[in-house]
Structure 1
């Protein structure tokens, strides 16, 4: 059990149909302090994900029996939003291009040892954190833009309904929000909904 003042270990999902690769890399990663889950196929990895496991990073072999690693990578990106790096026994430009298109944070060619894998994992985790921060910032900016748009539209509605110039209409909206102890954008959204036609 992790002590209260210690961060939880970083959880990695290692997916490869080569048992020797799985066991060798898993031992090295565990020795380096990572929590490692293993799967010998894309299907087995999907079962782990469906059970609620949420690894911080997946390390996925491209060529496996059954569904290939690119199919799993697509699921990781679209359904689970889990960052991943790809492994391959070959440096294939087409595969590298597909992996990059899917959002892979790294592409490693086997055979590789733990000393090569560890810095790639650290780089991928750092990049994943940066991308998450960018997504959060973009979401915040979009929310701010949506709020500003709603406020502007609501002011226009008040101008038309009350025959007021824009400054007075905005002040009325602001005072109403303060009186009702509501956020300006929330009240604006309600005003917009109130004038929209009801769908049958």
Structure 2
């Protein structure tokens, strides 16, 4: 957003607010807005607010304390605490987590709480969203999972398939990171 060039000029947020007020003060604009069914307008506003909030939650995943931040070859690759990362993701993005749990609720309600059953699925969706939202700063889990799968002997085609689904990093990235770890002596060749 353009910033003011004059010394005492107003901020971009202030100018945006004033522009919005000027538009909505025009009678013909308000009349046209009333022609749109209210549910569409209301739903659109609610959706955009929810998306903005979820995007702000996704931006927090770049924090190294959560466990989805940028892959760092200096960190230990032996300790991948998935349940711990999942609980930190749930705390960092409560609205996203609740939305995904709500979407995944069973079609026919159950007497027991099934949200625990889907914790891994919800976590994986959060990982995919985070790495799509910020591919350079939220790539730790996809790279570590890719390294793990490669070390277990998973074939290149399978790794590329999982990359195509957004689950892990691509094969070339995994191999580059593996070579870096070999040079540091953290993994065997």
Larger Rg: 1
Q: Which has the higher strand share?
A: 1
Task: Give the TM-score taking structure 2 as reference length.
Answer: 0.25
Higher RCO structure (Cα 8 Å, ≥6 apart)? 2
